[in-house]
Amino acid sequence: MLLTGAAGFIGARVAEVLRAAGHEVIAVDAMLPAAHGPGAEPPADCLRVDVRDAEALTGLLAGVDVVCHQAAVVGAGVDPGDAPAYAGHNDYGTAALLAAMFASGCRRLVLASSMVVYGPGRYDCAAHGPVDPAPRTRADLDAGRFEHRCPHCGAEVTWRLVPEDAPLRPRTLYAASKTAQEHYALAWAEAGGADVVALRYHNVYGPHMPRDTPYSGVAAIFRSQLESGGVPRVFEDGKQMRDFVHVDDVAAANRAAIDALDAGLHGFNAVNVCSGRPISILQVATALCAARGAPPPQVTGQYRSGDARHLVADPARAAELLGFRATIDPLDGLREFAFAPLRS
């Protein structure tokens, strides 16, 4: 099998799990400076290959029966100037990979997607049922009114678990690029009779997470704030809900997806990869502070344009299609993560 992005935080753990399961893994990574630092070299068991190089990929794909595609440029994706980087690496890169797979006769793909494809998430109004709330206004955010409101009556709405058949409504450049990756994979599957599992990762954390880079998640940012002698600075009121899933569970989901394809799973299938145990951002920060014996986090009231208020996944389809259930409770995993090594 071919694994892209194999030197990254998630890709490296996926490589370990797949090799331990007996898979022969051809590992590749472009070693982008934003992800690995200037001048970084690939590990000894990984080749420096850019997925946009279809010719190089075609040479590696001979005899490969499945591709696990982790390579991507990630980040907040709110600066319009970053659009070419997202489109070039994520979208064109995926298109080049799919073309090389088709030319090589490889018809099975596990795609690393993301929760960001759902945009603001799923909400219900007590009076009007399921609603699609409008983006939060700057006036409301400046006034500390962080919850979405019903477009019909203006009442605050309640978050619900997001299933895979929810509409895709990307609100950032990164989200748009991940949505495009899925659309390319879907079209490729239907045109070429191929099989795809798109794994929609939720908030991934764990040992060897990047520190202080565009690839850092909020858990790593909180860790860095603690290690510098401060306390985590929590945006909004800290009540925004997420699903934090440990990198070991994410690697297990990739193995489960490959096993499901081996067992005959056909067509395009999108699957949430999550813990199934919702937790607030303030709970994340508080757990890290408690584990390290630090003062409580600071709730700043600041906000970031484009952030989802609540985005929590429904884990049912992963269990049904892949037999995957996360095993690490976020509170247990975060206590371990409080002292886990990070990537510089």
Give pLDDT tens digits along the chain (344 positions): 999 999 999 999 999 999 999 999 999 999 998 888 888 899 999 999 999 998 899 889 999 999 999 999 987 666 788 899 999 999 999 999 999 999 999 999 999 999 999 999 999 999 999 999 888 999 999 999 999 999 999 999 999 999 999 999 998 899 999 999 999 999 999 998 999 999 999 999 999 998 876 667 899 999 999 999 999 999 999 999 999 999 999 999 999 999 999 999 999 999 999 999 999 999 999 999 999 999 999 999 999 877 899 999 999 999 999 999 999 999 999 999 999 999 87
**Confidence at residue 54, expressed as pLDDT on a 0 to 100 scale:** 84
Residue 323 lies in a domain: yes
CA–CA separation, 151 vs 247, rounded Å?
37
Whether the Cβ atoms of residue 319 and residue 275 lie closer than 8 Å to each other: no
Q: Is 70 in the same domain as 190?
A: yes
| Last residue of one domain, picked from the residues 141, 161, 181 | 161
Whether the Cβ atoms of residue 118 and residue 164 lie closer than 8 Å to each other: no
**Confidence at residue 134, expressed as pLDDT on a 0 to 100 scale:** 83
User: Any alpha helices (H) in 87-146, and if so which ranges?
Assistant: 93-104, 138-142
Per the structure, the count of domains in the chain is 2
Please state whether beta strands 279-280 and 241-242 pair in parallel, antiparallel, or not at all (unpaired). Answer: antiparallel
Whether the Cβ atoms of residue 69 and residue 109 lie closer than 8 Å to each other: yes
Q: Is 13 in the same domain as 90?
A: yes
Q: Is 234 in the same domain as 327?
A: yes
pTM recorded for the entire structure: 0.96
Q: Read off the CATH number of the domain in which 192 is found.
A: 3.40.50.720
> How many other CB atoms are found less than 10 A from the CB of residue 317?
18
**Confidence at residue 294, expressed as pLDDT on a 0 to 100 scale:** 97
Q: Is 129 in the same domain as 116?
A: no
Residue 48: both structure tokens together: 């420096």
Residue matched to tokens 């239907």? 190
**Confidence at residue 75, expressed as pLDDT on a 0 to 100 scale:** 79
Residue 152: both structure tokens together: 């019909």
Residue 106 lies in a domain: yes
CA–CA separation, 188 vs 174, rounded Å?
21
Which of 164-168's residues contact partners 24+ apart within 8 Å by CB, and which partners? 164/200, 164/270, 164/271, 164/272, 164/314, 164/317, 166/118, 166/122, 167/118, 167/119, 167/132, 168/117, 168/118, 168/119
**Which residues span the domain enclosing 33?**
2-121+162-338
**Confidence at residue 77, expressed as pLDDT on a 0 to 100 scale:** 62
Q: Is 64 in the same domain as 156?
A: no
Residue 10: both structure tokens together: 């998630």
Q: Is 291 in the same domain as 254?
A: yes
Q: Is 228 in the same domain as 190?
A: yes
Whether the Cβ atoms of residue 235 and residue 195 lie closer than 8 Å to each other: no
**Confidence at residue 251, expressed as pLDDT on a 0 to 100 scale:** 98
**Confidence at residue 16, expressed as pLDDT on a 0 to 100 scale:** 98
**Confidence at residue 34, expressed as pLDDT on a 0 to 100 scale:** 83
Q: Which of 183, 162, 59 is nearest to 111 (CA)?
A: 183
CA–CA separation, 105 vs 253, rounded Å?
25
Dihedral, CA of residue 80, residue 85, residue 87 and residue 90, to nearest 10 = -130
Residue 344 lies in a domain: no
**Confidence at residue 79, expressed as pLDDT on a 0 to 100 scale:** 78
Whether the Cβ atoms of residue 52 and residue 92 lie closer than 8 Å to each other: yes
Residue 30: both structure tokens together: 């472009």
E strands, 186-315, are: 195-201, 203-205, 233-234, 241-242, 244-246, 268-273, 279-280, 298-299
Q: Is 130 in the same domain as 221?
A: no
Q: Is 313 in the same domain as 179?
A: yes
Residue 199 lies in a domain: yes
Whether the Cβ atoms of residue 165 and residue 208 lie closer than 8 Å to each other: no
Q: Is 300 in the same domain as 235?
A: yes
Q: Is 48 in the same domain as 102?
A: yes
Q: Is 105 in the same domain as 207?
A: yes
CA–CA separation, 22 vs 269, rounded Å?
24
Residue 308 lies in a domain: yes
